Structure 1
Amino acid sequence: MATRMTAGRLAAARFSPTIRRPFTSQPPPPKEGSNILLFVGLTAFGGAAHYYYRHSPYFNGANKSTEVDYVQVYKDVADLLEDNDYDDGSYGPVLVRLAWHASGTYDVDTKTGGSNSASMRFEPEALHGANNGLKVARDLLEPIKAKHPNISYGDLWTLAGVAAIQELGGPTIPWRPGRTDGTSAESCTPDGRLPDATKKQDHIRNIFYRMGFNDQEIVALTGAHALGRCHPDRSGFEGPWSEQPTLFSNEYFKVISEREWIKKELKNGGWQWVDKNNTDVMMLPAEISMFNDKEFRKYFELYAKDQDQFFKDFTNAFAKLTELGVPFKGDEKVYKFETLPVVVTNNPT
């Protein structure tokens, strides 16, 4: 018998405390370019000329369509999220991180940075320490960019972040196109515009205030750490923020609010907080500093108790984040994408 459920509900079932996959201290490497190799193989066998004629961004013939099917882009992203050979079984968390890091470089005073130019494609920004590991996400989306050549990278990366959040159980986030990619390293932003997890709450405020966010929005955005894990070869930290790293919920706020945190020394000379009763679960130094801040803490406690309020506030803050610095014309269509249904086969026992 087959039943249908949304991808978010499937994630909730798959990673429930009773049947979740065990964690490993070191994540496995991503599958060796399977999607990219598949795409290259298909285009190599007879369809390359037709594909180029129909889809190349350099072709200006009469049959060339400049329209982008953003609903199909969403579906294409959703289709590639699940992969049992990557981290905890999903590329979703790293795509959310790509959208966030591409957008979080915005400076409200100088009006520079943000997702509009997709400047992480160029060095030196691609090599900034905060962007370690994001080549995985950028490369993952290349076949979709090839399939939809007229979508800008800025639009693709932010739309992918929205798709990942929604498909892993999160709220519906309004999204609109309109980003225009930069063409050279001149669009790169200086290093240091993204948060340093080793620092305290005042540093976090300075980073987010520079973008134009307030305390409530900062804490709401921090809730994205419901997804994913840290990697020693990327951030220097290690482990997930909860036992359900592929389910978007308010679990992050429950975990940080309800558990006892102890310091753990790391092999690289740094340290992080870990749950005393489950040392696989960690928190960053900056996060515990935020939680202990009186003004920040009231939002942590609110979201731990009220997931609906968290989803509402996160939706507004994340939509704002992805639009920072984008020169919208005002006539762009606002999309609210539907999550994909997933067929689940119940095998008889």
Structure 2
Amino acid sequence: MSFTAFRASLRRQALSASFKRAELRTSSFRKYSTEAPPAAKSNTGLYVGLGAVVLGGGVAYYLYDSSSDTAKATSTALKSAAQSAKVATNFVPTKADYQKVYNRIAEVIDDAGDYDNGSFGPVVLRLAWHASGTYDKATGTGGSNYATMRFQPESLHGANAGLHVAREVMEKIKQEFSWISYGDLWTLAGVAAVQEMAGPKVPWRPGRIDGFESHSPPDGRLPDASQGAPHIRDIFYRMGFDDQEIVALCGAHALGRCHTDRSGYDGPWTFSPTMFTNDYYKLLFDEKWVWRKWNGPKQLEDKKTKSLMMLPTDYVLTQDKSFKKYAKAYADDVDLFFKDFSAAFAKLLELGVPTQQFVASEAWIMQTVDEQKS
């Protein structure tokens, strides 16, 4: 039986109270996710930065030295040209158009072969996170609006090592749907990754535009896994998150694994790295963690199986009083975790995007592939 054929039934099992943690350790399949609320009533208005023939097609982002007046003028002209092109072709993407992109992303995520437990989902989620997590509320710079990880040196920042895999996967979809901006594509991919790997529904709105190299944020805005609580707060407070949101966002470590040829760290956080659960928090409290003896950077491993890892920034959640309170709550209540993660992740994906750019007056809830088939 194919992976897709019985994915829906496994999801439903996963939502039941009888779905045991032991089952997660032996299965990388995904559970059923929550029902979608009604779609937004309004999606009218011209999408300023969908990318049309000019921006979204990627023609503009490499043309000019961004520090010059010419670049600024060109940027404005290109955005206007994109808008004019939309009017001329009478093409205003609807939720249905974005749902098609979502569906294609879901297909590609599953088509990973032997890569990382057979799914591109975790690395695609990381792309969306890192493309958004550079936001600085004090200066209004960074964030997902300009998709600047397409450029060097941001693409070469140490925290982004290995994300060329996700960008290359997304590039195939960009060629198929040239009208969508990279920022919208990457963030929508993050939403698809969470939902298709049994996570919560994440509201999402289109409206990001593709910028220039000059819009790239400086290095050092993403978390350093070797640091402690003060560093974590510096990074997340800069974006506008509080302690509860910090801990909720850390729950994305339920997915994926570290690679020695990228971050230097090694191993998965959970026994089911392609299923979005609250096991990340459960394991933090239920397992005994010891420092791993090896030639790599300082990390922890579970004493029992020595097959799992935790970063110093993960372990902080069990040591800092405020962080621990939320981490323990999420370990005890998966529904609470899903609710808080959804809200924090949706907020993260919109950082740096001017409100007037968003197309929908309300965020859309995209349907999973299984929901569409049921």
User: Match of 1:290?
Assistant: 317
Does the residue aligned with 2:265 lie in a helix, a strand or coil?
coil
User: Match of 1:20?
Assistant: 27
Could you say if the C-alpha distance between residues 8 and 315 of structure 1 is closer, same or farther in structure 2, counting changes exceeding 3 Å? farther
Identify which of 87, 100, 111 aligns with 2:129: 100
Distance in 2, matches of 1:100 and 1:259, equals 27
Q: Larger deviation: 57-66 or 299-308?
A: 57-66
Displacement of 1:73 in angstroms is 0.5
Distance in 1, matches of 2:25 and 2:280, equals 18
User: Match of 1:245?
Assistant: 273
- Letter matched to residue 341 of structure 1: D
TM-score, normalising length: structure 1: 0.82
User: Match of 2:76?
Assistant: none
Identify which of 165, 168, 188 aligns with 2:197: 168
Distance in 2, matches of 1:132 and 1:321, equals 20
1:13-37 C-alpha deviation (Å, 9 max, x unpaired): 9x9346437xxxxxxxxxxxxxxxx
Asked whether 1:321 is paired with 2:348, we answer yes
Alignment of 1:153-192 (within 5 A): 153-183=182-212, 185-192=213-220
User: Match of 2:156?
Assistant: 127
- Letter matched to residue 320 of structure 1: K
Identify which of 256, 262, 266 aligns with 1:234: 262
User: Match of 1:67?
Assistant: 93
- Letter matched to residue 352 of structure 2: G
Distance in 1, matches of 2:11 and 2:209, equals 35
Identify which of 218, 229, 232 aligns with 1:204: 232
- Letter matched to residue 254 of structure 1: K
Distance in 2, matches of 1:242 and 1:154, equals 29
Distance in 2, matches of 1:189 and 1:16, equals 42
* Equivalent residues of 2:254, 2:270 under 8 A apart: yes
Q: Larger deviation: 236-245 or 60-69?
A: 60-69
Displacement of 1:85 in angstroms is 1.3
* Equivalent residues of 2:25, 2:272 under 8 A apart: no
Does the residue aligned with 1:274 lie in a helix, a strand or coil?
strand
Alignment of 1:32-51 (within 5 A): none
Displacement of 1:66 in angstroms is 5.0
TM-score, normalising length: structure 2: 0.77
Could you say if the C-alpha distance between residues 327 and 188 of structure 1 is closer, same or farther in structure 2, counting changes exceeding 3 Å? same
Alignment of 1:300-311 (within 5 A): 300-311=327-338
Does the residue aligned with 1:222 lie in a helix, a strand or coil?
helix
User: Match of 2:71?
Assistant: none
Distance in 2, matches of 1:79 and 1:198, equals 35
- Letter matched to residue 16 of structure 1: E
- Letter matched to residue 336 of structure 1: I
- Give percent identity, aligned residues only: 51
Structure 2 portions without partners, runs of 5+: 29-52, 60-81
Distance in 2, matches of 1:217 and 1:327, equals 21
Could you say if the C-alpha distance between residues 266 and 57 of structure 1 is closer, same or farther in structure 2, counting changes exceeding 3 Å? closer
User: Match of 2:8?
Assistant: 6
- Letter matched to residue 280 of structure 1: S
Could you say if the C-alpha distance between residues 342 and 239 of structure 1 is closer, same or farther in structure 2, counting changes exceeding 3 Å? farther
Displacement of 1:338 in angstroms is 1.0
Could you say if the C-alpha distance between residues 266 and 186 of structure 1 is closer, same or farther in structure 2, counting changes exceeding 3 Å? farther
Does the residue aligned with 2:127 lie in a helix, a strand or coil?
helix
User: Match of 1:77?
Assistant: 105
1:249-283 C-alpha deviation (Å, 9 max, x unpaired): 11111011111100013324x22000000111010
Does the residue aligned with 1:265 lie in a helix, a strand or coil?
coil
Displacement of 1:288 in angstroms is 0.8
User: Match of 1:278?
Assistant: 305
Does the residue aligned with 2:299 lie in a helix, a strand or coil?
strand
Alignment of 1:213-232 (within 5 A): 213-232=241-260
Displacement of 1:231 in angstroms is 0.4
Distance in 2, matches of 1:4 and 1:85, equals 20
* Equivalent residues of 1:8, 1:169 under 8 A apart: no
Distance in 2, matches of 1:123 and 1:140, equals 18
* Equivalent residues of 1:8, 1:167 under 8 A apart: no
1:181-211 C-alpha deviation (Å, 9 max, x unpaired): 112x211111100000001111001000000
Aligned length: 309
Does the residue aligned with 2:307 lie in a helix, a strand or coil?
strand
User: Match of 2:77?
Assistant: none
Could you say if the C-alpha distance between residues 95 and 6 of structure 1 is closer, same or farther in structure 2, counting changes exceeding 3 Å? same
Could you say if the C-alpha distance between residues 186 and 170 of structure 1 is closer, same or farther in structure 2, counting changes exceeding 3 Å? same
- Letter matched to residue 335 of structure 1: W
Displacement of 1:11 in angstroms is 10
Structure with greater proportional helix content:
2
Could you say if the C-alpha distance between residues 103 and 285 of structure 1 is closer, same or farther in structure 2, counting changes exceeding 3 Å? same
- Letter matched to residue 258 of structure 1: D
Displacement of 1:328 in angstroms is 2.5
- Letter matched to residue 134 of structure 2: T
